[in-house]
Amino acid sequence: MRKAKFLGYFSGMLSFVPLVAGAAYPVYNPTQLSNQGYVINPQYAQQPNLQIVTNQRSNVTPNQLAAASRANGRPMLNNVASNPNRVTGALPRVGSSATNAGRQYYQSADYDRLADSGLYIGLSAGYATMVSGSMSADYAGAKDAFLAPGSFRESDLQHDSVIPFQISVGAAINSDVRVDFSFLRYSGSSYASNVQTSTGDGFADATVSGGAITSNATMLNVYYNIDSVTGYMAGGYLRPYIGAGIGLSLNTIADYVVFDNHFYDETGGLGPGSVEAGFLTAVSDIYGYHNGGTTEQIAFTLEGGVTTDMNEGLKIDFFVRYAHLGQVKTSGSVVVSQTEWLSDGSGTDDGEYEAPYDSVMHYTNWTESGRLANIDVGVRLRLEF
């Protein structure tokens, strides 16, 4: 009797297990799953309790899918892939502390319209907002240096509108780094129009004409986009960058003339009456003709700016640049022309006359030099291929 009762209990338990299992692990036929947005791999369709769902999706919205899952007491699967959408609109910020979204998760060619790619040529024009340069005479300590007038006190360069031009040919290494070779030209500066020249025991004003200065620099430049640190600017339309360049600059100064119109006594203050007839008493109207020169110097640039895209492979850089161009130096040849005054032998203080000959002297290795540097603002157009 007990044995029969035990078998009855055991049979009831066995019949209850499938009901519990069915509640915990419901079995869905292919039609039912398809209506809910899931598709069973056919090879598993005949195997009960085996829930292998493929990464496919029918035309069911996510909200319908979630509702159907909740109605069946089954959580919605997270591995059902949605249809990919192309990123449009403003680019995501990069380097933001609030999100990890950024260019590194996308293909730059598809989603980063500011990314640099391939070869490019560039043309830039700027304006030198500050020209740092001055000239002084390297022969200031030479004996009788005052006889060749020049800038014995450092004189700032004179400049009108200095508009630097640059032509570049380069390539993008990746979406953040690009390298180019460039030709950079500066013109519009010149020797100072007024200088302080030596009198032998002091300084006197002198005027200058000529002396235009140009610099032609061949540079190797490297630029790095820093948006990974700063993030995109202006809703993704501006991309900040920094750059540096090094190369050789040919600095040229044209010929110039320094004119000193002062009257210099050559009698030691005794006057023309103290010397014999025909002897030199004074000099005046001294012209110093300085031959220009070209000097090859190491140059470097530092640049910062932002880039924007104009489509069709055209980009625009707005930049601020510091350019150190080295020194400019004359050839060292100075031809001096002056008016000489001679004693007439009368013994009076005004007893002198202008010499009837031309007084011309040639000095060599008497150079003048100065440094050159500029701070520019400008715009560069880059056409990518």
Q: Where are the domains of the chain?
A: 2-71, 110-384
What per-residue confidence (pLDDT) applies to 66?
Answer: 59
What are the residues whose beta carbons fall under 8 Å from the beta carbon of 202, sequence distance 6 or more?
Answer: none
Contacts of 22 (CB under 8 A, 6+ apart): none
Contacts of 341 (CB under 8 A, 6+ apart): 272, 280, 281, 282, 283, 284, 352, 353, 354, 355
Instruction: Please identify which residue in the block is written with the tokens 């002396």.
Output: 211
Residue 114: the pLDDT is 66
Task: List the one residue out of 14, 159, 139, 128 whose CA is nearest residue 376.
Answer: 128
Q: What Rg, from alpha-carbon coordinates, does the chain have?
A: 43
Q: CB neighbours (10 Å) of residue 288?
A: 26
Q: Report residues of the chain scoring pLDDT below 50.
A: 1-7, 9-10, 13-14, 16-58, 79-82, 84-111
Q: What is the dihedral of CA 103, 106, 107, 110, to 10 degrees?
A: -90
Give the phi and the psi of residue 207 in degrees, each rounded to 5. -110, 155
pLDDT of residue 383: 93
Q: What is the pLDDT of residue 312?
A: 78
Among residues 258, 259, 255, the alpha carbon closest in space to that of 332 is found at 255
**For the residues of 3-15, what is the DSSP string, one character each?**
HHHHHHHHHHHHH
Opening angle at CA 167, ends 161 and 171, nearest 5: 145
CA 294 to chain CA centroid, nearest Å: 26
CATH assignment of 110-384, among 3.30.470.10, 2.40.160.20, 3.10.290.10, 2.60.40.10: 2.40.160.20
The reported pLDDT for the residue numbered 215 is 97
Whether the CB-CB separation of 190 and 238 falls below 8 Å is answered with no
- Three-state DSSP at 170 gives strand
**Predicted local confidence at residue 75, as pLDDT:** 53
3-state DSSP assignment of residue 183: strand
Q: What is the DSSP string of 110-162?
A: HH-TT---SEEEEEEEEEEEEEEEEEEETTTTSTTGGGS---SS-EEPEES--
User: Residue type at 15?
Assistant: S
The whole-angstrom separation of Cα 138 and Cα 152 is: 8
Q: Which of 178, 182, 185, 125 is nearest to 319 (CA)?
A: 125
